[in-house]
Amino acid sequence: MIRKIFLPDVILTALIIMLFSSNILLAYRASYMAKVSELFREANRRNDLIMLTSQPDSPHGAAVNSLKTQDIYLNFVKGQKPGREIVPEKYLNLADFEKLKKQVPQKIGIRNHADFAYLFAGMGEGNVFGVVGYVYDVFTLKGNQCSVPHGHDEHCEGEEIYGVIIGFNSSVASRLRTGKQGLSDSVIAKTVIAEINPAHIDSGTVKWNFELLNGIIGSPVKIHGQLIYDNVDASLSGYSNMETPHNLPGRNIFWELSPVTEFYICKSSVPPTVFSEEWKALEDIYYEKDK
């Protein structure tokens, strides 16, 4: 049967091509994506997934178990590939994330991210930000099919994504380095998530893998990435039986950096200043290990 072509689909496709190809978007990604959201609202009204839920490089994956737990605009935002050369608009600390959390409207639910796209764009969603903190833990998930907090599951199917739990407490980080600290709900409550999608990174020049990430738990890190609000995780956070990408007990902040575009570490136990030469790209550590 021939599928009818809706005009919004054609316009949406054109806007997506512009979004990926235009250099003018480097500084104003948020406002452009908010404009695209108008078409997603129309798609939601038609209950039509159109073309975007099948993006092979979407962190939430193409294999959707239930449309009720998917937000196609969120998938679209997470499927972006910001350039590594984009300078962060700002470096966010825990207080910044907590302030952003308080500004999230109560009416946002599991599938209406697009309705608030302009509001979130004004808060920075879609733009690249930085964060300086400590790696508390790492985990893997694959597409929309697996959730493996605090570990690595070789049996998950689908595209592998790395989740990095970033905290801001130097004492907790110190105990994590010596294996004397667990991740309680109260500790998780003061963390944020950064998602690494290897499909968004040039594998020929960057080697970010689970083994490397798992070896730097407790270390200071500087991370750049796209700021997004994950309304799906926020909506499902109270349901322990739901397989959300990272339904961590105690999770309190659902603003994320996804995808990560740059990842730096340092040898010091305390983070240096943002622009210090002590920061070293994570991939450089990979190549040093190979020598």
What is the pLDDT at residue 106?
92
Q: How much is the pLDDT for 183?
A: 87
Question: What local confidence, expressed as pLDDT, does residue 69 receive?
Answer: 66
Task: Determine the pLDDT at residue 222.
Answer: 98
Domain boundary assignment for the chain: 7-290
Give burial (CB, 10 Å; 0-12/13-18/19+) of 15.
middle
Note down pLDDT in tens along the chain; length 291 residues: 333 434 455 445 445 545 444 334 444 566 666 666 666 666 555 554 444 443 444 444 333 344 566 788 888 888 888 888 999 999 999 999 999 999 999 999 988 898 999 899 999 999 999 999 999 999 887 654 344 444 444 434 446 789 999 999 999 999 999 887 788 889 999 999 999 987 766 655 567 888 889 899 999 999 999 999 999 889 887 554 444 445 577 889 999 999 999 999 998 889 999 999 999 998 887 555 554
pLDDT at residue number 164: 95
**pLDDT for res 45:** 55
pTM: 0.76
For position 37, what pLDDT does the model report? 67
pLDDT of residue 204: 56
What pLDDT was estimated at residue 7? 44
What is the pLDDT at residue 44? 59
